[in-house]
Amino acid sequence: MTDRTNERRIEYPDCNAGSGDGDVRIIVPWKDDSGEYTVEEIWHLEDCPEYTLQQILSEDGVRRARERHEWEKEQFPRTLERFRAAVAEAGENGQAPFARALAELVEMQAEDTERGVSLGAFVEVLERHFPGPDGPARPPHG
């Protein structure tokens, strides 16, 4: 990877904050379309309306993400049940390789719903069901 990081210091003119005592520094890392990382430093006075608004939006974002995750944890077992029923109905012989690969990946996710299935697991499952001409590719040290 050739990710680079640029640092940019931004002082919002609205409240004339700097790095003085009591001023609030916000670090905002983001990755642009070219894959470059930029770290922005934004300074506000503690009583700056813009800062207050950002705090509210940030807390709202956290709350929404938490609510969404709770919904996902409730919904997943119901979705999983329907998926398993469909897999069972198709039977061993009725399952095309892509369906078997999907079934394995779904079951891996079902084992631990707090983590996403890793890229490594996707490669391993897809290589097994869709091997290249020389057979399933193996990772280094694997």
Please report, as ranges, the residues that interact with Zn ion according to CB under 5 A. 12, 14-15, 44, 48, 50
Spatial distance between the Cα atoms of 30 and 53, rounded to a whole number of angstroms: 20
Q: How far apart are CA 25 and CA 11, in angstroms?
A: 10
CB of 26 to Zn ion, least distance (A): 10
For Zn ion, the closer of residues 53 and 96 by Cβ is: 53
Using the structure block, give the residue that is written with the tokens 């069901």.
129
Q: How far is the CB of 9 from Zn ion (least distance, A)?
A: 14
What's CA 50's distance to the chain center, in Å? 28
Nearer Cβ to Zn ion (12/122): 12
User: Minimum CB separation from Zn ion for residue 124, in Å?
Assistant: 49
For residues 50 and 107, which CB has a smaller minimum distance to Zn ion in the complex? Answer: 50
Nearest to Zn ion of 41, 50 (CB atom) = 50
Q: Distance from CA of residue 140 to its chain's centroid?
A: 26
Nearest to 36 by CA among 58, 3, 66: 3
CB of 16 to Zn ion, least distance (A): 8
Q: Beta-carbon neighbour count of residue 43 at 10 Å?
A: 20
